[in-house]
């Protein structure tokens, strides 16, 4: 018959579980600071990038929807004479 966990002694199973737990704790202590540092850095850069994109979108949206205040061009500015439907033509 094959090897089964029910055939192994209870102390051996607990020893293996304990060793795996210690190795897992050691790996977490060694790797967690660098993982958290890189995740925090990526999160902050992503957050700042999102804020800048939203601000740029808001700025461009407002700029596109604002109606520019235009003054009436005079005849000298655009090089044209009086317009055909001007009041001087009605005489």
Which domain covers residue 61, as residue numbers? 33-65
- Residues 18-47: tens digit of each pLDDT: 999 999 999 989 999 999 999 999 999 999
Distance, in Å, from the CA atom of 24 to the CA atom of 32, rounded to the nearest integer, reads 11
Does the residue 2 lie in any domain?
no
Q: Is the pTM of this model over 0.85?
A: no
Question: Does residue 53 lie in a domain region?
Answer: yes
pLDDT in the model for residue 9: 78
DSSP class of residue 71 equals P
Domains in the chain, number: 1
Q: Is residue 51 part of a domain?
A: yes
In this structure, is residue 40 part of a structural domain? Answer: yes
Q: Do residues 82 and 75 touch, judged by C-beta distance below 8 A?
A: yes
pLDDT tens figures, 50-76: 999 999 999 999 988 887 767 666 655
Strands annotated E in the chain:
none
Cα-based distances in Å from 23 to 18, 28, 35, 52, 91: 9, 9, 17, 43, 102
Rounded distance between C-alpha atoms, residue 64 and residue 85, angstroms: 32
């Amino acid at each position: 018959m094959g090897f089964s966990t029910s055939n192994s002694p209870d102390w051996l199973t607990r020893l293996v579980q304990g060793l795996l737990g210690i190795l897992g704790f050691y790996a977490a202590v060694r790797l967690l600071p660098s993982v958290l540092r890189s995740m925090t850095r990526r999160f902050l850069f992503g957050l700042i990038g999102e804020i800048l994109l939203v601000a740029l979108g808001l700025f461009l949206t407002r700029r596109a929807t604002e109606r520019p205040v235009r003054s009436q061009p005079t005849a000298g500015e655009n090089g044209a004479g009086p317009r055909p439907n001007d009041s001087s033509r009605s005489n």
